[in-house]
Chains A and B, each alone.
Chain A
């Protein structure tokens, strides 16, 4: 970790939390990325599709507009292994819908209201993520 990374992490985190606070106090809704996307994908949230679409459009456009502020090239550094990308995407899609939430919904919005579901979900996805690193990076060496 570069020394200033934690400062940017904290600043970015405060922005993420403020975004969630605006969604909650403004629209009375929990800012969960998987729920907002999933409701459009499986049509369970079509009744407020415009709000979801506006959220997702801004989520794509605003960081895109910020890219020129960076002097170095911004990259996701995603793996070039197509199989791992597809497997990971499928697992994230299935898992977040089964659990009804991801890092933003359960992690940010759930923990901050001391929700048992949010805390339990966060513990399990962190443990599973850590174990995945042990297995697939240190034992199998594929990620």
Chain B
């Protein structure tokens, strides 16, 4: 039960932060990516502001053995990059630019995003379903 309450507090605060920061507004996200147009630097403040508490949090994980619910902290970051990290990030960035939504804000804006927002979420879910076969195909090609 404790896990579920913590997850709900985290998800709720995440959603509130996305709304307050303006990241659920596709024009602000596209404005940030549009360096050669009417550039909007807001997203830099959002990302910078979000990293600050996490710097403290990661430091705190080194001072204690386990999390509040008693589970271990995530293992050390994987240093291997791999082609899927790069290919996936490029595809994600392209989709992010096309519409101006990434997964968090897409879900957070569900209640006011209208049919466009719901269509985006359904397409995203469909993409997630086909990602695994695509990954296997890419790995097969990479092994040649």
Contact = CB atoms under 8 A, between A and B. Distances in A.
B73 A24 contact: yes
B88 A96 contact: yes
B15 to A, nearest CB: 4
Q: How large is the interface on A (under 10, 10 to 19, 20 to 34, 35 or more residues)?
A: 35 or more
Interface of B: 3-28, 30-31, 33-37, 40-58, 60-61, 66-69, 71-74, 77-81, 84-114, 116-117, 119-132, 134-135, 138
Interface string A94-138: 111111101110111111111111101110111111111110111
A63 B20 CA distance: 9
Contact of B6 (A26, A66, A84): A26
A88 B67 contact: no
B11 A57 contact: yes
A14 B55 contact: no
Contacts of B135: 97-98
B56 A63 contact: no
B37 A59 contact: no
B12 A92 contact: no
A112 B4 contact: no
Given A21-B53, A25-B67, A126-B93, A76 B103 contact: no
B112 to A, nearest CB: 6
Contact of B25 (A29, A75, A109, A116): A75
